[in-house]
Amino acid sequence: MSCPRTPWRRFAVLAASIAALTAAAAPIDFTVDSPVDGRKFRLADARGRYVALHFLLKTECPYCLRHTRDYAKRSAASDEVAHVFLKPDSADEIKRWAGGLGADAPKGFTVYRDPDAKLADAYGIPGGYAFHGETVHYPALVLLDPAGKEVFRHVGKDNSDRLGTAAFTAKIAEIKATAKSSPKNP
């Protein structure tokens, strides 16, 4: 006997289908450029490390600046995770925005460009968030394990809903502990 085709059931099936398609469509490798300092980040070069993809909003957002400063300071003190900050803005907009980080930004900190939020789309970060007269994707953090597989994500409900550094530190410790206690797959 099958379940009735209620609107809720149709929504659940659609959501599961979208999640499966999104997971299958996630890029195996990607390269992003920084218009600020010309550096490149290539996922394949970070194999063996955790990678945190920070999808920032396409706007002048004080929450994005504070969030980015907090994570930039944390990432400068640790090599266990590569933090990759991504903005879908133009190169000139990113340069101006990065200038707003001020002296608090650690030396060597980089903001990368995700043109037209293509990488955000590839990772299934939902769009349609109206902010400062623009429609943008929601703020998000996607954590990849040392093999490049997604192991955690946080998608904010609004511009101030970010995963803080303390919560991130706890989450990565939990993921590492689980990975150590799990039997290795052949």
Q: Provide the residue ranges of all domains of the chain, joining segments of one domain with +.
A: 28-181
Could you read off the pLDDT tens digit of each residue along the chain, which spans 186 residues? 444 444 444 444 344 445 544 444 455 799 999 998 899 999 999 999 999 999 988 766 677 777 788 888 877 677 789 999 999 989 998 888 887 777 767 777 788 999 988 999 999 998 877 777 777 788 899 999 999 999 999 998 887 888 988 899 899 999 989 888 877 654
Query: According to the model, what pLDDT value does residue 49 have?
Result: 92
Burial-class residue 171 by CB neighbours within 10 Å (0-12, 13-18, 19+): middle
> pLDDT tens digit string along 30-51?
999 999 889 999 999 999 999 9
Nearest to 142 by CA among 113, 120, 118: 120
User: Who's near 158: CB < 8 A, 6+ residues apart?
Assistant: 129, 138, 139
Decide: 65 and 100 in contact? Cβ < 8 Å: yes
Return the CATH class of domain 28-181. Answer: alpha beta
Query: According to the model, what pLDDT value does residue 60 have?
Result: 67
